[in-house]
Amino acid sequence: MLAKDDIKAQVSLGEIVQHDLGPPVRRSGHWLIYFCPFHANTRTPALGVNLETETFKCFSCQVQGDLFTWRMRRAGESFPDALRYFQELVAKPGYSPPIVREKHSKNLMDGPPSRKWQQRGRAFLQYAQQQLWQHESGLQYGLDELFRRGLQASTVLTWGLGYNPAWISDYPAHWGLHHQRQDQKIKLARGLVIPCQNAGTLWYLKMRVFDHQGKPVAGKDGYGKYLQPTGGKSTLFGGDHFSGKPVLLLAESELDALLAWQEARAWVDVATLGGAGKHLHPAWISQLLSYRRILVAYDLDDPGQRGAHRLAQLSARLEVCPPPEGDLCDFQSQGGNLRCWIKGLLQQ
């Protein structure tokens, strides 16, 4: 059964509220504005539903919360009842399309980022590539970490990775994001820079965040392991390097995908959705139809396996194949032979 966070990743609060209350009185940016159903008032629409944070708040009676709070309040249900309600909702094949996935398709359907975003992204990427190969901290920290993960220089060059030696804050307008508040700067993390390009288009930049000592952060110190500058759009990472193999290996992260590509591209094509919680958008399915088998080699941990099993429900072609150790990079760096392991999967 899906846990709370899985439900929240798949069900949009905005859709649920519109289902319950009908169309909003008005829209304002990423807010839907309604008359609050939790207090008696027909004069001022005081309830705001924030489509970005997936939360609601009444500015009059102060009721607020998330998807689950909404259901518990509206239906007078306990948390376990609300959880069960959404589990059943998501499981219903006929009812799922309008509700499920809307959140994830939202930023996919509008295509790649603007030209201005891509220009700024490419300028930053070029800087980061120079830093990686020509400057001390790039060589010492960036390349060192990539080599530690088992990547070869030719792989790093082919995929255009870079290293940013210090945090940078940039104005959203420089990235073509004129509608965003200009004091909410675009953050570019210290660390590895991974460009996701597809057919000459830059879709997103992903950064593996490093601490001030030049080591990858563990992801527990208040900021995450990964960061993406605002305005990037999801896509299938790896699609540019598909070469018509009968089998696709789907890795959990970009760096795992690069390692698998380096080791096993003679037998399999490799891609990633960019995270265990990411969904397979219908727009990418056409790119996957030609594969006889799709091996989902997500991390051995709970989020990885939850994500892998969720994907595998989509089609019998998808098979869950966790690596013997933590993730693909761990497996290789702890002495495992990724090439042999993948070859073994193909013979099964």
Binding positions for Zn ion, rule: CB under 5 A = 36, 38-39, 58, 60-61
Euclidean distance between CA atoms 329 and 259, whole angstroms? 7
| Least CB distance to Zn ion at residue 74 (A) | 13
Nearer to Zn ion, 39 or 135 (CB): 39
Half-sphere exposure of 169 (CA within 13 A, CB side): 4
Token pair for 37? 């159903």
Euclidean distance between CA atoms 149 and 168, whole angstroms? 26
Nearer to Zn ion, 38 or 133 (CB): 38
| Least CB distance to Zn ion at residue 22 (A) | 17
| Least CB distance to Zn ion at residue 139 (A) | 58
**φ, ψ dihedrals at 32, nearest 5°:** -105, 130
| Least CB distance to Zn ion at residue 67 (A) | 18
| Least CB distance to Zn ion at residue 73 (A) | 10
Nearer to Zn ion, 72 or 227 (CB): 72
Token pair for 161? 């990775």
Euclidean distance between CA atoms 29 and 36, whole angstroms? 19
Nearer to Zn ion, 57 or 310 (CB): 57
Euclidean distance between CA atoms 208 and 187, whole angstroms? 13
Euclidean distance between CA atoms 114 and 107, whole angstroms? 12
In what helix (H) or strand (E) does residue 312 lie, and over which residues does it extend?
helix 302-312
Nearer to Zn ion, 64 or 198 (CB): 64
